[in-house]
Amino acid sequence: MNRNYLFLIFIILNIIFIKISNSTIQSNNNKNNFNNNKNINNNLEEPKSIQTIIDHYFGNFLTSPLGKKVSSKHYIIFEDPLEKEIPFEKSYGYNCKHDEISQKLKKPNFKKRHIYKKVEDYYPESSSSSYTSFSSSSFSNENKEFQSTEILNEKELIPQQLTLQRPVQNRPITNKNDEPQQQAQQQAQQQLEPQPQQQSIQDKYKPIPGYENIDNNLLNEKIQNNKIRFFINESYVVGKGDKGACHMVGQKIIMGFSGVVKEDCRIDVFSGAILNTPCFYSCQEKDILTEDLKVLLMDYVVKATFDIFTSIISVRTPDKTLKLVEDPDEPKPVQCTRGVYIPEELYTTGINNTDHYVFITSRPTPDLMTIAYSLICDSPIYYYGSAKDEWVYERPRVSVLNFNPNYFTKILESQSKWTFNQFMRVGIHEMVHSLGFSSPLYSSFINPESGLPYSVNKTITKTVQENGTSPLGKPFIREKYLISSPSVVNFTKEYFNCDSAEGFELEDYGGAGTAGSHWEKRTADEEIMTGYISPTLPLSRLTLSFLYDTGWYFPNFNYSEQHKWGSKLGCNWLKNCEIDSWSHQGYYCDNFREMGCTANRLGKGICHIVRYQDTIPVIYQHFNSTSIGGSNRASDYCPYYQIVHSVSCPSCSYCSNTEESPNKSIKEEFGKNSRCFNYNLLYLSNERFINRRTNTSNNNKKVKTINNNNNENNENNKISSNSDDNSNNNNNNNNNNNNNNNNNNNNNNNNNNNNNNNNGQLYDEYQENNIISDPMANSLSRKSNVEKKVGCWVNRCSDKNIVQIKIENEWLDCNYNSTLQIPLENNQFSTIVLELVCPTDMDLCINR
């Protein structure tokens, strides 16, 4: 009896506790949704990181028979277009062209899978219309700005070729021949009967099951048990049946997603891009899907990609059986993209234990710069809606993921961990698109709190207007397009330390494929879902918050990767890149091609500024000139230090890239914990250096730390001496100054020669595309003729948040706003000293 009473009391206390907890959670939902989401995964077991998974598969590749085989095999090294100095008008980085469905075509008798957009500007010499699927997403190097003309291809999109999925609610199917008669009858009936009150949009929807309020423990249980399950169709890679892939040199394949082929492909001489898709393409050596490449893709790249997603993503409402809704009017078999057919099994019996069906292909692409692309093939319709903007789709169920053989063969060629990581992350980017990061699906996202689509209250996206004035005093009004879902809004406020933030900005540059379906590069930089590739591509909390707000997935936030671009820099930094708001390490720069440390000191970059022949839009003007701006248009022409891998900056590199060759003469070291620092080389007489040096706590190292807090010239600090012989000091100073002047003159001559050479080279390249490089633009002033030196060293932060730099296995304190001097070489008469410039504030220890 006592046990029963105790048990009853225990149950009552638990019920009271749960009610209190639920009321607390509900009261805090509107206050800080993001913080609640941040704690979702606290009780989960500490996971492997994304980088750990990638490194694991790369290590397996190197030690596999394939890795050992290719290490001794001679591969033809094809010319990499990225290693050229390519004008930014034609290309910048890898541009993800995620083509969207147009609002014009979004009407009930067309399914999004078969809607295409005409892109005549992109293929100017095309004699026939070129189309790409709206949900196609590709990482490429194309940066040509073009306008998409939304025209319906009647031959391609006849109703018999379209799949129309049945909605959750039953909808009567009528004969098209009866439509005029039925419309007339309906109009007559409406005139006779009183018009009912119009139903609100919210009344049309019912909350979707599975969105009830649940506590964190139950949520974590769902995350563990509902890991997303993929069915990988590898038949288009493993065999030789894919007619869209290249199996031998000279083989003819059809290039292009759709359309009637009438002629051979015409290739642009400069970029290598195909100009007239659809066309017959003759396979080259670089396009061949070799047996080695098949093994690399299926055993390592694909497995790693889906291992990452099954670790990160859980499905809110998993499918016991993945079964698609069949349209009786659609021809069979159903074609996802050219030559890729959805199995009949998916429409009849379905596939058990599957949430998402993925076709893997490895085909060459019309754009030479495309690394990979994705394509959503099937996304069930939850609600049709009476208006074109009221359609609600469910979670995507079928997609295609294509890997360009030209690029992934480079992994076999180089066996580079850095290359493997970069291309792996391109695949991750494309799969995020396949899961729903596509602007046509935004209004279909389900609010996790209510179970209703965001379109009910139109809260998923927002357009804001900001007033501003250009440096030349011209006022402007700028429109920004934001994702304003709850978790994304709260992330933005916390990340940037900006309470007035209304959401995270979407990309506004590029064609329909890039703009609107990626994060704005100015504010997200190298985050994995920006439209332009970089070697790092971290999957940050921003994208995971977005996936959570779709209402379709539970992301494991413990897998989020560090991304510090703009972190804690405030609302003014977020608004625009101005010299005052961007006056932080690595951001705003105005010295053409000056070397410098990038933001957060992650690498050695260059101030990449160009003069454009055309006027830059006033909202993107950042100098006292209408034609000078940063070279990266996707970053709104903002001038900042960029890591540009080209002939213009052979020394540019990421400090974490251990495949780079360090400068051993300055004790440089690359590694995971390596960061960029400015440095100088001092040439001092031994007598003067002996008077300068002091012994620190590092007894084996003769190091001098100089405080730069005073307003004296830093050069005076460098050459000052404690000797009592002032006349000798003056003589030494004069001699040194003369030597320095001579060196500066030589450097200036060299710089002028280099600039002249660069001017001749770059002018020819940029002028063709209305961009003129101008290293000594009249509107810009060079701060110094002395070349700025930067290098990478391993460092850490002490318990007191003091930066410590590792030099030859010794850790040296680098106090803020000071310099650290380390002897490098000496002889009988002089000593060469490495002078490291320590951070001027605590940015390095704060932004680790």
Residue 634 DSSP symbol = G
Lowest mean pLDDT among 222-226, 481-485, 579-583, 703-707: 703-707
Asked whether the domain spanning 576-688+771-847 has the same topology as the one spanning 222-441, the reply is: no
Query: Which conformational region is residue 570 in: left (phi greater than 0), alpha (psi within -120 to 50 degrees), or beta?
Result: left
d(CA 703, CA 808): 13
At 224, the pLDDT band (50, 70, 90 cuts) reads: confident
For the entire predicted model, the pTM comes to 0.74
Lowest mean pLDDT among 283-292, 377-386, 392-401: 377-386
Please report which confidence band the pLDDT of residue 758 belongs to, taking 50, 70 and 90 as the band edges.
very low
Sequence-separated (6 or more) residues with CB below 8 Å from residue 557: 37, 38, 40, 41, 541, 544
Class of domain 576-688+771-847: mainly beta
Task: Kindly report the backbone phi and psi dihedral angles of residue 19, in degrees, each rounded to the nearest multiple of 5, phi listed first.
Answer: -65, -45
Domain ranges in the chain are: 222-441, 445-569, 576-688+771-847
Tell me: pLDDT of 550 over 60.
yes
Q: Please give the backbone phi and psi of residue 831, each rounded to the nearest 5 degrees, phi first.
A: -135, 135
Mean pLDDT of 53-76: 80
Task: Report CA torsion sign: 806, 811, 812, 813.
Answer: positive
pLDDT digits (tens, 9 = 90+) for 116-138: 222 222 222 222 222 223 333 45
Q: In Å, what is the CA distance from 533 to each residue of 347, 566, 634, 646?
A: 37, 18, 11, 15
Looking at the predicted structure, is the pLDDT value of residue 163 above 90?
A: no
Q: How confident is the model at residue 846 (pLDDT cuts 50, 70, 90)?
A: low
Buried-exposed string 34-67: b where 16+ CB fall within 10 A, e elsewhere: bebbbebbeeeeeeeebbebbbebbeebbeeebb
pLDDT value of position 203: 52
Looking at residue 234, its pLDDT comes to 95
Per-residue pLDDT tens over the stretch 78-91: 333 333 332 322 33
pLDDT at 103 exceeding the cut of 50: no
pLDDT level of residue 327 (50, 70, 90 thresholds): confident
Q: Say whether 668 is catalytic.
A: no
The token duo for 330 is 């659609």
Please give the helix or strand (H or E) that residue 63 lies within, else none: helix 50-63
Selected from 3.40.1160.10, 3.10.170.20, 3.30.565.60, 3.40.30.10, the CATH number assigned to the domain covering 222-441 reads 3.10.170.20
Q: What is the pLDDT of residue 386?
A: 67
Closest by CA position to 118, among listed 139, 99, 137? 99
Per-residue pLDDT, averaged over 612-616, amounts to: 93
Predicted confidence (pLDDT) at residue 96 exceeds the cutoff of 90 = no
Known binding-site residues equal 429, 433, 518
Highest mean pLDDT among 358-372, 535-549, 775-789: 535-549
Q: Which residue has the higher pLDDT, 536 or 452?
A: 536
Task: Convert 818-844 into a string of H (helix), E (strand) and C (coil).
Answer: EEEEEEEEECCCEEEEEEEECCCCCHH
- pLDDT for 515 equals 85
Percent of the chain with pLDDT over 90: 46
How many whole angstroms separate alpha carbon 652 and alpha carbon 605? 5
**pLDDT of the residue at 366:** 86
Question: Which of the four pLDDT bands, split at 50, 70 and 90, describes residue 843?
Answer: low
Please give the angle made by the CA atoms of 538, 297 and 53, to the nearest 5 degrees: 40
The answer, yes or no, to whether residue 647 has pLDDT greater than 60, is yes
Average pLDDT score, the chain: 73
Query: Which fold would CATH assign to domain 445-569?
Result: Leishmanolysin; domain 2 (3.90.132)
- Is-contact 113 99, C-beta < 8 A? no
- The annotated binding site for Zn(2+) is made up of 429, 433, 518
Confidence of residue 4 (pLDDT cuts 50, 70, 90): low
Model confidence at 429: pLDDT above 90? yes
Q: Locate 800 and state its tokens.
A: 């007191």
The C-alpha atoms of residue 570 and residue 497 are separated, in whole angstroms, by 5
> What percent of the chain has a predicted confidence (pLDDT) above 70?
63
Three-state SS for 647? coil
Which of 89, 100, 330, 430 is an active site residue?
430
pLDDT at 70: 72
State which of 138-142, 392-396, 489-493 shows the largest mean pLDDT. 489-493
